[in-house]
Amino acid sequence: MVARLLHGFADPGRLRILEHLRLGEHRVVELTAHLGLAQSTVSAHLACLRDCGLLDVRHEGRSSYYRLAHPEATEALLRTSSLLLDRTVGGTPGPDATEPTGAA
């Protein structure tokens, strides 16, 4: 279950969609315009995120509106992923790969 949930966070495009859906529900066409991604790419990412349990969809006429299924949990996971990236890539460096763990 956890692996399936975290799979939704394993792609930069899906992360961008999740970040955007923090603002509220959106249709595919709106996400496509905001993110500059192809409609087929956005649709595939939305299907994955829905299968992972991260999104809900509401149908109104011919339109489908996507929103975060669990906003608080998704928010916490997005903050955690941002913190991990800052500490390992762009911010505070992790342990030196040449030093054994626990070396002083």
CATH of 2-81, one of 3.40.710.10, 3.90.79.10, 3.40.190.170, 1.10.10.10: 1.10.10.10
pLDDT in tens, 64-89: 999 999 999 888 888 887 787 777 76
**pLDDT for the residue numbered 56:** 96
Return contacts of 33-42, CB within 8 angstroms, 24+ apart: 37/13, 41/13, 42/13, 42/17
pLDDT in tens, 9-46: 778 899 899 999 999 999 999 999 999 999 999 999 99
Q: Which residue in 45, 69, 43 sits closest to 57, CA to CA?
A: 69
